[in-house]
Structure 1
Amino acid sequence: MKIVAVFLLSAHLLFAMEYYSKLEPYDSFVVKSAVSGKILFTNEEVEGKYLNKKTKIIEIDNNVDKIELAQTKNKLKVLDSMLNIQEKNYNRLYKISSKSAFEKDNQKIQVLNLESTKSDLIINIANLEDTIKNKILWEDKIYIYNISVKKGDYVTPGTLLYESKDLSKAKLEIYIPISDYASISNKTIYLDGKKSDLKVDKIYEVADSKHISSYKVEIIVPNPKTFSRLVKIEFK
């Protein structure tokens, strides 16, 4: 009888691997400012909530950028007119045989300089439009975990604005001995003692500096009901 009990215990240790992990959101995002400016609005009401529709989270002052954008577009219109005139002048000079090559080259240089300035203005307009867009931040279908700035704050590129999390699915991370990782692919995963149809999503086949003899394993859990709870994971 003792022999049978010892055998059963040994078989359990051999064929079942047990781990514990906290059920975490599938992905987390740290949103930092790409621009400088004063915070005009923070949507503190959505902090700690899941968003079911497109919602404004933060707005940074963009009035100066809008004025500069309008002025730059006006400059581009004026420059286009100047460029059109100079191109006509060059085409006219080019056909006059009495005009020297020096005069023709000077006129061509004026055209090229205006074209270069036009290219710079187009780039400037694109940068301003991108800056204006980046000063109003919207989110949808995401959980707003934390908002780190308040109305009146001044931010610069790299300032932490808010953190969000993807709750569409969850992730379990465990570390298994390197000697065991090859055998888990053909085993069934049990969560809290219940059989599941889950599979290992990723195995990181390089040990990190902390878990020098283990590989990190990720298991994706679809449609989780709760997060941040401890889950028992078994491979049988």
Structure 2
Amino acid sequence: MKYLFFVLISFNFMFASVFYAKLEPVESYKVKAAVSGKVIYSNEDIEGKRANNTLVIKLDSFVDEVDLKQTQNKLEAIQTMIDIEGKNYNRMKKVSSKSDFEKDTQRLKVINLETSKADALIKIANLKDSIKNKKLLEKNNYIYNISVKNGDYVTPGTLLYESKDLSQGKLTIFVPIADIESIKNKNIYLDDKKSDLKITKIYIVADSEHISSYRVEIYVPNVKKFSRLVKIEFK
């Protein structure tokens, strides 16, 4: 009888798996510089707060903006030249007294201008991208840490700031591979209270540190307090 009682206790323990995890934001980001430049604005006031389409970091883009304007003007001039030389070529094709050499020479002018136009378009696209990458705004993430100050010079890959998505929380646990199937359809209890949550993700490749376990994530909506330890049970 004692032996049977012990078996029942062991059986119940196996099927009421208990884990502990820290409730973290669903995503955390490290925002790094994509281009080089001098920091001309670092919004230290937003640090530790939630953004609202807020400018966080701005790099000096004066030279890029001047270059962009001049390249756009150059593009307009090239297009005008293409239109003129193209009309000249079309007229020349109809003149029988013009040699094939003259016609080919005129055609090459148009081709060279078209090549210059393509180069200008690429340069404009690159300049616009560079200017965009020098102005970093956050829609609604929480700004956790700003790593640069006004006057700093950054290069590609320099950490600018960190942000966190607080739209929901995430609990990460590591479940022994042998127990994965047994928890998939169980109810999830958080801090001894039954929830309507379900497992969000199971990474079916063993974790690099927990080599005999799968990483399991549970997303939690409407979180009021992050970074607290949560007891998780499957039963």
TM-score interval, normalised by the smaller of the two chains: over 0.9
1:125 is matched with: 124
Matches within 5 A, 1:1-236: 6-51=6-51, 53-236=52-235
Cα distance in structure 2, aligned partners of 1:8 and 1:23: 33
Identical aligned residues as a percent: 61
Cα distance in structure 2, aligned partners of 1:179 and 1:72: 63
Task: For residue 91 of structure 1, report the CA deviation from its aligned partner.
Answer: 1.3
Cα distance in structure 2, aligned partners of 1:117 and 1:41: 36
CA offsets per residue over residues 136-170 of structure 1, 9 Å max, x none? 11112110011111100011111111110001101
Task: For residue 28 of structure 1, report the CA deviation from its aligned partner.
Answer: 0.7
Query: SS of the counterpart of 1:45?
Result: helix
CA offsets per residue over residues 79-134 of structure 1, 9 Å max, x none? 12211221121112111111111110111011000001001101111111121122
CA RMSD of aligned residues (A): 1.4
* TM-score normalised to structure 1 length: 0.95
**Aligned length, in residue pairs:** 235
Query: SS of the counterpart of 2:200?
Result: strand
* TM-score normalised to structure 2 length: 0.95
Unmatched segments (≥5 aa) in structure 2: none
Task: For residue 14 of structure 1, report the CA deviation from its aligned partner.
Answer: 2.5
Unmatched segments (≥5 aa) in structure 1: none
Cα distance in structure 2, aligned partners of 1:103 and 1:114: 17
Cα distance in structure 2, aligned partners of 1:216 and 1:199: 15
Query: SS of the counterpart of 1:227?
Result: coil
CA offsets per residue over residues 196-233 of structure 1, 9 Å max, x none? 11111111111023211111111111111111111111
